[in-house]
Amino acid sequence: MPTARYRCAACGNLTRFDVTVTRRTRAFHHFSLGGDLAIEDEEVLAETVEEVSCRWCGSSRAVEEAPAAQVEAADPAAQVES
């Protein structure tokens, strides 16, 4: 599953965001006899992105979702390497 990329239209940030997510999950809780817990096989049943805000300018309204390929093409760091 491709991960969505974000872009801040206010300041041009492509790499730093605070993302608030609500996630509903089911997991196998495996306790040892001593009471130590290991959480295994966590499965995401539902996931909702509540808010994405820009780490640089703090704006949440200007952040837009962008296809990964489009962001990579516009990323100055990627151009430096080529």
- List contacts with Zn ion (CB under 5 A): 8, 10-11, 13, 54, 56-57, 59
* Cβ atoms of 45 and 55 closer than 8 Å: no
C-alpha 12/C-alpha 81 separation (Å) is: 19
Indicate the residue among 60 and 72 with the shorter CB distance to Zn ion. 60
Q: How far is the CB of 57 from Zn ion (least distance, A)?
A: 3
Q: How far is the CB of 3 from Zn ion (least distance, A)?
A: 19
* Angle, alpha carbons 54-55-57 (nearest 5°): 70
* Angle, alpha carbons 16-41-38 (nearest 5°): 95
Indicate the residue among 12 and 42 with the shorter CB distance to Zn ion. 12
Indicate the residue among 11 and 44 with the shorter CB distance to Zn ion. 11
Q: How far is the CB of 75 from Zn ion (least distance, A)?
A: 15
